[in-house]
Amino acid sequence: MAGKGRPKAFATEKDFEQKFLDYIEHCRENKRFANIAGFCAYCHIVRDTFYAQKEYYSDTYNIIMDILEDEVLQDNTYRAQLYLKNKFGYKDKQEIESKNTNINTDISDLPPEALEEIAKAQGQEEVMRIVGKYRK
């Protein structure tokens, strides 16, 4: 029984592509959120079968994933954001810019009362103000 096995879900690469394009059109017409689970339900296949198409039709599979990602990007909802994070690896990114300037100043020549003030100072600017006050 060599050669016998489970038949492919899509006879050809073109069938796979067309079925996906039909699904996208179905989602647009019915105002549905396009996603892998929905495509699987539309085709009456399980997700493992969908993911197996990468083996058979890798270029079309990758194009389908790109189209699906683009469809989700057009849906400006919270659920779309979650889907992009979970299925496509998107992340929230927050950039924080921090400037840290250290100024080294010799304070050994300052009187003891200046050193006491510096010890209580809050922040570099206040320290520099105290140093300036005693160096005049």
What tens digit of pLDDT does each residue of 34-50 get?
Answer: 999 999 999 999 999 99
Summarize pLDDT for 14-35 with one digit per residue, the tens.
Answer: 999 999 999 999 999 999 999 9
Is 77 part of any domain? yes
Give the C-alpha separation, 109 to 35, whole Å: 71
Same domain, 112 and 65: no
pTM of the model: 0.60
What distances in angstroms separate CA 36 from CA 5, 12, 20, 52, 110, one per listed residue? 25, 19, 10, 13, 71
Q: How far out from the chain centre does Cα 135 lie?
A: 53
Same domain, 75 and 32: yes
Number of domains composing the chain: 2
Same domain, 52 and 83: yes
